[in-house]
């Protein structure tokens, strides 16, 4: 008998920052599970069109929408366009994020504010728009057990302090409690809110950490599982959290890090 617990058929998903990296692979994973995918992007349209094209070639449905998620008007316009096109939204993946690393004493207010605006305020704006739509639409039990799902892409740095990345770590710590608070507030309305906290994932944002053999060897010292993660690892986790297989899961963080948060320097038991 076929297992339909991971199926996202008839569901519409918005993935922010979906033209590259983790967002790109998450869009592919959601489409493979049957979802219609809104590919959010900013800047060059070509990578977003490539994602849409590949999804359509595979028999799926997708639409690219440009929006700066730190801008309220652009977020509202993106959701309106998606709802006008597809009728509603069932899934939001808050993936878009940036880094602007700097020694704390040299960090400008602009560098602090930009990271908070995208990584935290952007997740607030998109989550608010999604929840408003879920409440407007109401349950569709024939499509999904939950009225709506949100998955926020956080980071192991919601737990691990990170020198010279105070803005980034603060934004991800904020995401953690945003997720928990929204999950608490809307669980009674059957809206599930969770997060995925990736560790070291092979994407352009951390290219310097794995681009050379020496850099990769140093990075692997922090990963007990012995490999750097792929964006597909995160995408697969997102699909599970969005599926009915995870219907009793809300307010939690699924850490996808090969054991980075297990304090590998203590693994020998010495001392």
Catalytic positions, please? Answer: 168
Classify 33 as helix, strand or coil. coil
* DSSP H/E element including 40: strand 36-41
The structure tokens listed for 59 are 């028999």
Rounded to whole angstroms, the Cα distance separating 70 from 121 reads: 6
Q: Among candidates 20, 57, 51, which has minimal Cα distance to 38?
A: 51
Rounded to whole angstroms, the Cα distance separating 33 from 90 reads: 14
> What is the secondary structure of 63-102 as a DSSP string?
EEEE--TT-HHHHHHHHHHHHHHHS---EEEE--------
Residues 96, 118 contacting (CB under 8 angstroms): yes
């Amino acid at each position: 008998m076929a297992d339909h617990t991971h199926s996202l058929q008839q569901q519409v998903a918005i993935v922010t920052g979906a033209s590259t990296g983790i967002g790109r692979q998450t869009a592919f994973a959601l489409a493979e599970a049957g979802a219609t995918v809104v590919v959010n992007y900013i800047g060059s349209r070509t990578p977003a069109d490539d994602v849409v094209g590949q999804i359509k070639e595979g028999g799926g449905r997708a639409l690219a929408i440009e929006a700066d998620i730190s801008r309220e008007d652009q977020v509202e316009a993106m959701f309106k366009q998606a709802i006008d096109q597809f009728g509603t939204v069932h899934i939001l993946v808050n993936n878009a994020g940036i880094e602007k690393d700097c020694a704390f004493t040299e960090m400008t207010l602009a560098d602090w504010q930009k990271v908070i605006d995208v990584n935290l305020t952007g997740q607030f704006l998109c989550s608010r728009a999604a929840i408003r739509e879920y409440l407007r639409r109401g349950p569709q039990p024939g499509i999904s057990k939950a009225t709506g799902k949100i998955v926020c892409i956080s980071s192991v740095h919601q737990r691990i302090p990170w020198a010279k990345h105070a803005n980034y770590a603060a934004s991800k710590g904020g995401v953690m409690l945003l997720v928990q608070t929204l999950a608490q507030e809307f669980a009674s309305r059957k809206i599930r809110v969770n997060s995925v906290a990736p560790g070291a994932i092979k994407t352009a944002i951390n290219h310097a950490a794995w681009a050379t053999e020496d850099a990769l060897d140093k990075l692997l010292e922090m990963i007990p599982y012995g490999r750097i993660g792929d964006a597909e690892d995160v995408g697969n986790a997102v699909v599970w959290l969005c599926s009915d297989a995870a219907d009793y899961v809300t307010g939690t963080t699924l850490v996808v890090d090969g054991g980075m948060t297990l304090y590998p320097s203590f693994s020998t038991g010495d001392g």
